[in-house]
Amino acid sequence: MPSRRTVFKGLALAAAASVVPLPAFAAADYVPPLRQMRGMWIASVVNINWPSKKGLSVEEQKAEYLAWLDLAVERKLNSVFVQIRPTADAFWPSPFEPWSEWLTGVQGQDPGYDPLGFAVEETHKRGLAFHAWFNPYRVSMQPDPAKLHPDHPGRKNPDWILPFGGKLYYNPGMPEVRKFCQDAMLDAITRYDIDGLHFDDYFYPTNTTAFDDSAAFAKYGAGYPDLASWRRDNVDLMVSEMQQRVRQAKPEVSWGISPSGIWRNKASDPLGSDTAGGQSYDGLHADTRGWVKKGWLDYIAPQLYWYIGQPPADYAKLVPWWSDVAKGTGTMLWIGQAAYKAGDPAQAPQWQETGELSKHLTLNRNHPEITGDIWFSAGDVRADRLKSVTTAVNDHHQRPALAPLLPRLAGGRAPSRPVLALARKVRDGVEVKMVATGRDEPFQFAVFRSATRLTSFDDARNLVAVVPGDRIVRWTDPDGKRGDYYYVVAVDRVSRTSRPSNPFRVVF
């Protein structure tokens, strides 16, 4: 990045937080974590979030995306998960698959700019992490191959695709399909400055008895006891190979999946959860528990889209089950939260309670394996029905938080220790000037404030802001006062931190 000076005022872009008392419900000994996933999904398929409709102008698309980033900062999030390959198409000039129809309305039509390049750059300007969200196998939301772009791989290789349920899918049982999908996704990872590669919950279609992959099973299924075992191994291969290829191509990119929330019910398997819902192991042929136990993922983010006490899938039962699965594995556990259900009049009465989502985050505190949450979707975070998201943010995001640090990256080279060059009282607070040292500009600066000298920077009790990094940054703390001590810590793109700067006490 070119060297430049950046000025931030208060809450404008810095996601600042005052050092104020925690909510009354919080345990007296609760220590807010320094790092915590705070993300939201920005969905593109059928124009759920971005772009909001087909055929918007370049400037309209850009303005919409910037508004989503403003929302993320406002909600004190630190990451966005952006769907850039929703239906075997691309939000970037891909040599593998055509331009997405959700951009212009016409598959294969150049939108007139590079949406992915724009989105990554603007996300990083705000100090947010960009996770590229891919759907691995879905080809089209309609069933007619003739409606695909003439150069679409599904048109050129008709044996690769299968119709099912009014849609088209790549056949996961074909090794050449699996490699092609990996190649198509890795193209984005290797060409762009992306922080994470993310799969959603779709693998095989849910009602797979009507998914006619018999020809592929006859060709590749020798040695498997049954069709289900072969299908599960196909998905396992996609997951394990993806891990290997991401690590080889860009080892600092995180790799994870957000599966449906139930692996298996206890009635089907003694290792399963005390639930009675749809099972990813059987319905989607996705052995989500096995992926965690085998260490194939950096993180897993199960979609626990049920209220506390809900039969037959109780959030309060699934949280400890997933925590036990993740414990000791090195796989981070983030929870997918159903912002889309909160306040929806079609949902159960429990979702009409303002505090339901906040209760989920409170329950999570009892399980240290859980290191954050992702909201579905961005539109519902913005809609904020019943102020349910506002309530959760006010109750649980009193402090800023850095993005999680993957355990496998914790031992890497830390950023250079920054210099805190100034902390002075001004009319609207305390102006802090922080200066990067060393060769690389930090991705962020973490600003700490205390009435006394600090000796520990391992939690967020005194963290007041996470400011986008630069060579020189000035930031104004609206709640600072004379006598306060300030420190700054440099943060790199994977959330490694430097040693803290020398303290600077505000004396004038």
User: What value does the mean pLDDT take over residues 202-223?
Assistant: 91
* pLDDT above 70: percentage of residues in the chain: 94
Average pLDDT over residues 478-489: 97
**Final residue before a domain boundary, out of 360, 386, 408:** 408
Other CB atoms within a 10 A radius of the CB of residue 57 amount to 11
- Check whether residue 374 and residue 455 sit in a common domain: no
Q: Report pLDDT for 24.
A: 44
- pLDDT score recorded for residue 12: 37
Strands 79-85 and 37-42: parallel
Q: Using the predicted structure, report yes or no on whether residue 104 has a pLDDT greater than 70.
A: yes
268-276's contacts with Cβ under 8 Å and 24+ in sequence apart are 273/317, 273/318, 273/321, 274/314, 274/317, 274/321, 275/312, 275/313, 275/314, 275/317, 275/318, 276/311, 276/312, 276/313
- The number of folded domains in the chain is 2
Is residue 268 domain-shared with residue 398, that is, in the same domain? Answer: yes
β-bridge pairing 332-338 and 370-376: parallel
Q: What is the pLDDT of residues 133-146, one digit of tens each?
A: 999 999 999 999 99
* Residue 3 and residue 13 in one domain: yes
> Are 458 and 370 within one domain?
no
Structure tokens at 282: 């059987």
| Separation between Cα atoms, residue 121 and residue 275, nearest integer Å | 42
pLDDT digits (tens, 9 = 90+) for 388-397: 999 999 999 9
* Predicted local distance difference test score (pLDDT) of residue 456: 96
Check whether residue 295 and residue 327 sit in a common domain: yes
Based on the fold, state whether residues 391 and 474 are members of the same structural domain.
no
Q: Calculate what percentage of the chain has a pLDDT beyond 90.
A: 92
Same domain? For 390 and 434 the reply is no
Whether the predicted pLDDT of 202 surpasses 50: yes
Q: Rounded mean pLDDT of the chain?
A: 94
Same domain, 420 and 360: no
pLDDT at 21: 44
Amino acid at position 138, single letter: R
| Residue 130 confidence (pLDDT) | 98
Task: Give the range of the structural domain holding residue 9, as residue numbers without chain letter.
Answer: 1-32+409-508
Is 424 buried (19+), middle (13-18) or exposed (0-12) by CB count in 10 A?
A: middle
Q: Is 109 in the same domain as 11?
A: no
Do 291 and 354 sit in the same domain of this protein?
Answer: yes
Distances (CA, A) of 396 to 22, 29, 182, 314: 8, 14, 37, 22
**Residue 157: CATH number of its domain:** 3.20.20.80
Q: What pLDDT, on a 0 to 100 scale, did the predictor assign at position 206?
A: 81
Q: Of residues 307 and 29, which shows the higher confidence score?
A: 307
16, pLDDT greater than 60 = no
- The pLDDT value given to residue 508: 86
What integer pLDDT is reported at residue 8 of this predicted model?
60
Kindly state whether residues 376 and 472 are assigned to the same domain: no
pLDDT at 28: 64
* pLDDT tops 70 at residue 4: no
The last residue of one of the domains, among 369, 390, 408, is 408
Residues 18-52: tens digit of each pLDDT: 444 444 455 568 899 999 999 999 999 999 999 99
Instruction: Give 361-397 pLDDT, tens digit per residue.
Output: 999 999 999 999 999 999 999 999 999 999 999 999 9
Whether residue 62 is found in the same domain as residue 197: yes
For CA atoms 324, 330, 331, 335, give the dihedral sign: positive
